[in-house]
Amino acid sequence: MPEAPAVSSDAAVPLNYVALGDSAASGPRIPNQVGAPGCQQSDSNYPHVLAEALQVASFVDVTCGGAVTDNIVSVSQSTSSGEVPPQLDALTPETDLVTVTIGGNDIGLVSTAVQCLTFANTSATNVCKDRLTAGGVDTVAAAVAEKAPQWGAMLDAVAERAPDARILVVGYGTYLPDGGCFPTQPMLPEDADYIQSSITTMNEALRAQADAHGAEFVDTEPLSVGHDVCVAADQRYFEGVVPQNPAAPLHPTAAGMAAIGDAVAAAVRAG
């Protein structure tokens, strides 16, 4: 893949930028909501932060809450405000920069986390981790292994549509600290650790696919340590089960989007 032009923080760069992805990129409930209402897209999401930081020449944001990999590549997505075309349609041979955050919905990450919520303070009444790893089979890890080749194929499809583009896969963050914080967030320690370790497993698979398919991986787990769902509301990069910031449960806050956008901008400039 051709090397992208160097980017300096104090000069506008004529990059044509397209953002792809799911709700971890679109920013549901974060003001101000823009675009197709069903996609729950914020003008403060990390793609917007990145576009502003780089002062790009053009910017198209087709991130959409609920998207799976097929909705990027080939399948129109049904939303509450109508159908939106495959996100790849936004790419052209003139596209210079692409970001993509995808995978969480492919493996049912949020629905799995919701299964682990409990208000009982004993593991005797909650078998979430045990259920998800019954028989020695980690169902989330198995889902990641099954979907990973699709992520690689998606990156190949992006590169085919935008052959000169630099492609950055932006990973998912540190939502939960070690041991969680029951009862502040209603998930027992062993289940909190399982969910966060599953996020790490997905990130590692995304990184491997990026490495194998000519893309780059931006790891957002380190930058969000100490900014998880358990800390004070004004320190959170991700919201908890009952949000204390204008953001969807178990999704990035505006502060989280700003931090992620800044990290991606730094990766682009370092490129």
SS3 of 168, please? strand
Q: Which of 79, 102, 96, 97 minimizes the C-alpha distance to 153? A: 102
Is residue 213 part of the annotated active site? The answer reads no
CA dihedral defined by 23, 29, 32, 33, rounded to 10 degrees? Answer: 60
Is residue 198 part of the annotated active site? The answer reads no
For every residue of 43-70, DSSP letters joined together read TTSHHHHHHHHHT-SEEEE---TT--HH
Residue 3: DSSP 8-state: P
H or E segment at 198? helix 189-212
**Is residue 18 within 8 Å of 90, Cβ to Cβ?**
yes
SS3 content of the chain, % helix, strand, coil (to 5): 40, 15, 45
List beta partners, residue 176. Answer: none
**Number of neighbours of residue 160 by Cβ within 10 angstroms:** 10
Catalytic option among 9, 23, 76, 78? 23
Catalytic option among 48, 213, 227, 251? 251
Copy the structure tokens of residue 150: 């699709």
Q: Which of 202, 200, 190, 25 minimizes the C-alpha distance to 101? A: 25
- Which residues are identified as catalytic? 23, 251
